[in-house]
C-alpha cells in the first residue's frame, strides 16, 4: 500500500497509542499467572496480536473485549509451532518462557524476523540447562526444557530482549538464577521488565545492571493492569509539532521507564518549544538548529530524530549506529538511502550518524518493511517542499495501526 504525504501545517491533539513493549510483557506475564487478570488499554498493534496468539497457543485463555483482555493464566505444551510474526521481542521472550515447560517447543516467525540473529537465545538458555537449537543462527528455534537455573551469561550489546525473556522465565527455574550481563544496551527496557515482574508479584535483585538475582519458586500473581501510552509512537507526532506547527499528545507518563521519553530532551536541544503537563505534552514549531544526541539506549528514536534533524539548520550527530543493524531493516543503511532520495544528506562515521539539515523535496521512498521508516518519512514530509509517496506504508500496523488516521486529524491533507 502506498501513502502520499504533502507539505502541511499540523495543529491539534492526538492520544498516544498503547505501548506495545509494555503490553507484550504484561500479556506474557499474566498468561503465566494462575488465575484471572485483566489487562486494559492493550492497543491493536500487530506485535500485541502476536503476543495474544502465542499465549493462547501456550494454553492461556484470553477473552478480548474492545481494548481489554481477560486472561486466565497457566501454561501448557502447545500443539503447534509458535508463530511470532515479525516481533523480535516475542520470539526472544517466549523462547525463554517455553523453556519452563518439560518438552520440545518450536518457535518461528515471518518476514524480516527470519533473518534476525538468534544465537544469543541458544547460548543464554543453554547455560541454564535448556536444550536449544537454531537454524544456522536464525529461526526456527527448538526449545526443550526444563529450565534448571544456576548461572547464566548474557551479552547485552545487540539487544536487551534476550535478557528480558530470561528474567521473566527465571522464577520458574528449578533453582535460583544468577544472570551476569556484559555491555547491556537499552537499560530502560530492562526497567520495564523488572517493574512488570514486580507488579505481578515477583522480585528481581538488580546489581548495577551487571548482575541479576532471581529466587526460584516465586510465582506471578493475577492482577488488573493498565498499559501506559507509547513514547516511541508519540515521538513522531511530537517531532511533527516541532517542524510543522503545533501538536498536543495525551496519554503519556513523564515518569515512565520507557527509553524513548528522552525525545523531549532532543526536541529541547534542537530548539523546539516543548511544554510538559500532567496529562499531555505540547510541542510548537520554532527555529531549529542541529544538535548532538546519544541514542545508544534508545535506538528506536533514530527514525524520528532523523525526521527532526532533516529540518534543523546545520549538522546533527546521533550516537549509537550499531544498535540499528538488527531491526526490521538495517535501519542505518535504510535511513541513509530513503532520506537521500528526498534530498537529505546522511553519513555514517563509526558509531555516529551525521545528518545535514536541508530542503526536503518530494519523491518516492520505500519503508523496507520497517514501520518506523514509514512513519519517519511521513512526518519529515510535512515540512518539505513536495509530496512524498511512501511504498509499503501499511507496515505501520506493526506498532501503530492508527498512525495515518491520527496524521489525518492533524492535517486533513494526505491521500
Rounded to 10°, the helix 161-169/187-199 angle is 20
Q: Please give the Cα distance from 357 to 183 (Å, whole number).
A: 32
Residue 327 — pLDDT band, cuts 50, 70, 90? low
Is the pLDDT at 164 greater than 60? The verdict is yes
pLDDT of residue 156: 87
Residue 92 and residue 47 in contact, taking contact as beta carbons nearer than 8 Å? no
Rounded (to 5) percent helix, strand, coil in the chain: 35, 25, 35
Is the pLDDT at 41 greater than 90? The verdict is yes
Residue 326 — pLDDT band, cuts 50, 70, 90? low
Is the pLDDT at 217 greater than 50? The verdict is yes
Mean pLDDT, range 398-405, rounded to an integer: 97
> For the chain, what percent of residues have pLDDT higher than 90?
92
**Which residue, among 362, 301, 373, 312, has the nearest Cα to 338 in the 3D structure?**
373
**pLDDT tens string 87-139:** 999 999 999 999 999 999 999 999 989 988 898 899 999 999 999 999 888 99
pLDDT of residue 121: 92
Mean pLDDT, range 355-364, rounded to an integer: 96
pLDDT of residue 18: 97
Q: Please give the Cα distance from 129 to 269 (Å, whole number).
A: 48
pLDDT of residue 252: 96
Question: Which residues have C-beta within 8 Å of that of residue 287, sequence separation ≥ 6?
Answer: 271, 313
Is the pLDDT at 414 greater than 50? The verdict is no
Report DSSP state, residue 88: H
Q: Please count the other Cβ atoms lying within 10 Å of the Cβ belonging to residue 67.
A: 13
Q: Retrieve residue 146's grid coordinates.
A: 526444563
Is the pLDDT at 411 greater than 50? The verdict is yes
Preceding amide of 140 cis, omega within 30: yes
Catalytic residue among 46, 230, 300, 370: 300
The answer to whether residue 300 is catalytic is yes
**Which residue, among 132, 59, 127, 63, has the nearest Cα to 91 in the 3D structure?**
132
Q: How many helices (H) and strands (E) does the chain have?
A: 12, 23
Question: Which residues have C-beta within 8 Å of that of residue 344, sequence separation ≥ 6?
Answer: 306, 310, 355, 356, 357, 358, 360, 380
Mean pLDDT, range 229-249, rounded to an integer: 98
pLDDT of residue 415: 39
Q: Please count the other Cβ atoms lying within 10 Å of the Cβ belonging to residue 407.
A: 25
| Whole-number average pLDDT of the chain | 95
pLDDT of residue 159: 83
**pLDDT tens string 189-216:** 999 999 999 999 999 999 999 999 999 9
pLDDT of residue 325: 74
Q: Global pTM?
A: 0.94
Amino acid at each position: 500500500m502506498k501513502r502520499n504525504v504533502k507539505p502541511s501545517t499540523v495543529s491539534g491533539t492526538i492520544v498516544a497509542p498503547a505501548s506495545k513493549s509494555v503490553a507484550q510483557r504484561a500479556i506474557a506475564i499474566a498468561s503465566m499467572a494462575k488465575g484471572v487478570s485483566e489487562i486494559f488499554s492493550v492497543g491493536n498493534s500487530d506485535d500485541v496480536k502476536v503476543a495474544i496468539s502465542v499465549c493462547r497457543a501456550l494454553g492461556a485463555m484470553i477473552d478480548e473485549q474492545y481494548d481489554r483482555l481477560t486472561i486466565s493464566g497457566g501454561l501448557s505444551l502447545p500443539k503447534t509451532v509458535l508463530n511470532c510474526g515479525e516481533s523480535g521481542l516475542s520470539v526472544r521472550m517466549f523462547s525463554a518462557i517455553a523453556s519452563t515447560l518439560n518438552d520440545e517447543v518450536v518457535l518461528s516467525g515471518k518476514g524480516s524476523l527470519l533473518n534476525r540473529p538468534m544465537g544469543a537465545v541458544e547460548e543464554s538458555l543453554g547455560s541454564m540447562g535448556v536444550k536449544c537449537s537454531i537454524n544456522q543462527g536464525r529461526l526456527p528455534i527448538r526449545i526443550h526444557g526444563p529450565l534448571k537455573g544456576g548461572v547464566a551469561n548474557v551479552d547485552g550489546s545487540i539487544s536487551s530482549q534476550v535478557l528480558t525473556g530470561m528474567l521473566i522465565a527465571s522464577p520458574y527455574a528449578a533453582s535460583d538464577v544468577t544472570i551476569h550481563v556484559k555491555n547491556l544496551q537499552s537499560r530502560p527496557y530492562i526497567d520495564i521488565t523488572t517493574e512488570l515482574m514486580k507488579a505481578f508479584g515477583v522480585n528481581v535483585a538488580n546489581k548495577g545492571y551487571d548482575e541479576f538475582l532471581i529466587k526460584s519458586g516465586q510465582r506471578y500473581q493475577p492482577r488488573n493492569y493498565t498499559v501506559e501510552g507509547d513514547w516511541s509512537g508519540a515521538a513522531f507526532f511530537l517531532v511533527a509539532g516541532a517542524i510543522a506547527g503545533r501538536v498536543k499528545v495525551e496519554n503519556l507518563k513523564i515518569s515512565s521507564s520507557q527509553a524513548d521519553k528522552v525525545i523531549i530532551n532532543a526536541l529541547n536541544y534542537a530548539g523546539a518549544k516543548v511544554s510538559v503537563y500532567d496529562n499531555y505534552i505540547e510541542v510548537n514549531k520554532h527555529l531549529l538548529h542541529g544538535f548532538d544526541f546519544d541514542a545508544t539506549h534508545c535506538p528506536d528514536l533514530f527514525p524520528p530524530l532523523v525526521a527532526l534533524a532533516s529540518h534543523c539548520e546545520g549538522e546533527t550527530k546521533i550516537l549509537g549506529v550499531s544498535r540499528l543493524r538488527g531491526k526490521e531493516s538495517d535501519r542505518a543503511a535504510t535511513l541513509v538511502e530513503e532520506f537521500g532520495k528526498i534530498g537529505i544528506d546522511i553519513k555514517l562515521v563509526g558509531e555516529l550518524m551525521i545528518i545535514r539539515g536541508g530542503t526536503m523535496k518530494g519523491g518516492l521512498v520505500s519503508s523496507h518493511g520497517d514501520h518506523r521508516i514509514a512513519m519517519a518519512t511521513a512526518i519529515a514530509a510535512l515540512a518539505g517542499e513536495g509530496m512524498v509517496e511512501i511504498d509499503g506504508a501499511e507496515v505501520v500496523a506493526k506498532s501503530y495501526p492508527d498512525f495515518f488516521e491520527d496524521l489525518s486529524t492533524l492535517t486533513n491533507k494526505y491521500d
